Structure 1
Amino acid sequence: MVGDEVYAGWEEIYRDNVDRVYRTLFAKLGNRADAEDLTTEVFLAALRPLRVAAPVGQVRAYLLATARTVLAGHWRRTLGREITTLDDERVEIAFTEQGGLPDQPDRVAAILAELPERYRKVLRLRFLEGCSVKEAAEELGVSVGNVKVLQHRALRQAARLAEGTQP
């Protein structure tokens, strides 16, 4: 299906695009459960505004754009909610008396402390202070494109650290 063809209905839209949307999200998240949850969010978010009579190419483009929006919201919620304070000092993860990990904010702060300073700064500006990409670029003295690259790399490295795959 391509070109000016249209889908017969929502079931066909879902069947034809669910794997594409899931793979896109999984590639960014590296986490099956989150990718599945966000895939569901994408289709729920697209349910009202998406026209079934739109050409297949437009439907696919809209779903992938919606996936990017849902993913950005996920990162904002995840990083913004879990971090209460951020010290520039290196934070050590201390085990609780029961032998488990401490509260999530401490864990997130510890992960951020492991990141290079530029990565910490871009995540702090974008997610904790709510700066736009343009505002973060001005603050850091770099281009908008550079902020996007730094943010992507910072999130990817933070995810690796969170999963314990970073040396």
Structure 2
Amino acid sequence: MLANQPVQVQAAPLWLTISALLAEAPATIEDDRALVQAARADLRAFNGLYERHVTRVYRYLLVRVGNVADAEDLTSQTFLVAMENLDKYRGERPFLAWLFGIARHKVADKYRRQKPELMLETAADLADPQEAPDDLVSQKLQIEAVAQKLQTLSPDRAEAISLRLFGGLDIPEIARLMRKQEPAVRMLLHRGLQDLQTRLNPNQEATV
């Protein structure tokens, strides 16, 4: 599924507001504990972890690399690395946060090889392969506009916003991944979201 098959996405109109993204429940350790244990005993059970987290990982990668084909490829690579190194996950933090550690390395590797692409090929393909357990398929998302505006922010602000909005991570996990103090992350999000949301929707106030 992961090694030879690209991420499967369904075309669907998406318009998910920043406030809706921020309202998503963060991942917890307890959510994945049973699935991780099952996957360690039988790798076929890893599919449950894939189905649970592929949407957030994919949309994070999409806004970071700005290219659907590359985002799909990096998503597959991220889950393949996770599956092959499942024994290294110690359960001290949410599995999703561990996945994002892998995904961030994949993005860094890509950026070292080539310059980031500013424009997305298409936004119509961004949808949950499993018909959106978090109801994403029923909503629309200004993904092109967000991705383009993120390119104008500082790298740290863009990364913090991507992890918070599109990855669904909470402040402590973002701070851990970025190796920053929580107040610094909050400031990155506050200032970055103010600028981003003002550009996207001048009539709506951004909150963290």
TM-score, normalised to structure 2, is 0.35
- Structure possessing the higher radius of gyration over alpha carbons: 1
TM-score, normalised to structure 1, is 0.41
